[in-house]
Each structure stands twice: as C-alpha cells, then as structure tokens.
Amino acid sequence: MRKLKNNELDRLSVDEYKEIAKTPITVVLDNIRSCNNIGSVFRTSDALLIENIMLCGITATPPNKDIHKTALDAEKSVPWEYFEETEVAVKKLKESGYRVFAVEQVVNSISLPDFKPEKDQKLALVFGNEVKGVQQSVIDLCHGAIEIPQYGTKHSFNISVSAGIVLWDLVYKLRS
C-alpha cells in the first residue's frame, strides 16, 4: 500500500467545482462562534458537493483568516450567503421548497440511521451554536429534527463533527 500524492487524487479545480451538479443540500449555521468550526464545515461541504451554506447571526463570514485556516480555500468554492437572523434564512428555504431539519436533540427527533432523504427533495440542515445548539425559534420553523445517536456520557458532538457525520450519511444515502 502506498499513500497517494495530491496530484494523483484527480480533484476538481475551483472553476470545475462551480460548474458540476451539487448535492441538493443547504447547510445553515445558526450562530456558530468558532471560525475553525465554520472553516471545517466549508471543507466538508466542498468534499461532498453541498450546494450552499447560509451563515447566520454571529457566524463569521469569509474572507477570514481563521475560517481559511481550516477551510483551506473551500470558502472560495462553496457558495455562501449571510443572514442576520437564522429564522429569515429558514423561511426563505421553506418558501423555495426545501425540507428543513434541525440537527438537534428534541422530542420526537428522527434518529440519523432512520432518516431517509427523498431523492428529488431539496434538504436544508440547521446546525447550532457550540453551547446553546439550534435556537428554539428556529426549531419551531423546521419540518423536523435529526439526532445523531450517542452512547457515552457527553450530550453532544462538536458542530463540525456533527456536520461531517450527518452530511456524509445523507450524501451516501442519496447516492446509493
């Protein structure tokens, strides 16, 4: 076994990335305080061809050196837009025909392994603040909530880890 070199990975250029068909998922970041988490979500979104990121509230926006540190230029390939209020972003998505799900621990959440995305349905996933999670006012606007099963003593994953788990799982299910 030999580790592949970067030039052997056959990656898209930024221009090619912008032209290729995307996975019909939009990520909504609800008041994320860490630029490292924001950058990580950009990088994961690039890897999985996510169509868009909505940055809301206190969530920082590119260009930002701390976002760039973990995004590694993914902030240049993945389209994004900023909303002062997450509720406005969610309402816009719903008006555009998206099914919107908070990734959160709520009563009657859907366990991630049980969530079956519909192939022709546009999805939006709301990921919340590192301490407070998704705002209740935003949860109230969502069609439902997806929860990642956990088995230890902690009650949550880091937001960038949650985004990686959920996005990979849904992209895999949509492509299968």
- Residue 155: its pLDDT value, please? 87
Single pTM value for the model: 0.96
Question: What domains are defined for the chain?
Answer: 20-175 (3.40.1280.10)
Pairwise CA distance, residues 142 & 160, whole Å: 21
Round to whole Å and give the CA distance between 28 and 100.
Answer: 9
Q: What number of other Cβ atoms are within 10 A of residue 137's Cβ?
A: 12
pLDDT exceeding 70 applies to what percent of the chain? 100
Instruction: Return the pLDDT at 3.
Output: 95
- Is pLDDT of 75 > 90? yes
Q: DSSP code of 104? A: S
